């Protein structure tokens, strides 16, 4: 039976929220895979709560990043349209 990676996944999820979005995506993917292996009995299930918490943090970090990118793009578009409108 493989050992769990719950602590690693939780750390990646937290870092994904706070610093670096790709780490949140990694936590989400790794957490999903590890939970499947735990449910199948291939991995130590004692770290399931840590793994699940890391996966949730990864999801939150990814969603927040996507929303921030959308708002940044909208802000850029508004700034460009305002600049174009002022020059005419």
Provide DSSP, 4-64: P-HHHHHHHHHHHHHT-HHHHHHHHHHHHHHHHHHHHTSB-GGGHHHHHHHHHHHHHHHHH
Whether pLDDT at 77 is above 90: yes
4 Cβ neighbours under 8 A, 6+ residues apart: 34, 38, 43, 44, 45, 46, 47, 48, 50, 51
Question: pLDDT at position 88, please?
Answer: 72
Domain spans of the chain?
A: 6-87
pTM of the entire predicted model: 0.85
d(CA 73, CA 79): 10
Question: pLDDT at position 80, please?
Answer: 93
């Amino acid at each position: 039976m493989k050992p769990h990676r719950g602590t690693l996944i939780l750390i990646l999820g937290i870092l994904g929220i706070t610093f670096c979005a790709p780490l949140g995506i990694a936590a989400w993917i790794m957490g999903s895979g590890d939970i499947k292996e735990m449910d199948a009995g291939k991995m130590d299930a004692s770290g399931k709560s840590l793994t699940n918490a890391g996966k949730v943090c990864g999801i939150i970090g990814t969603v927040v990043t996507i929303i921030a990118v959308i708002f940044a793009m909208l802000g850029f578009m508004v700034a460009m349209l305002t600049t174009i409108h002022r020059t005419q």
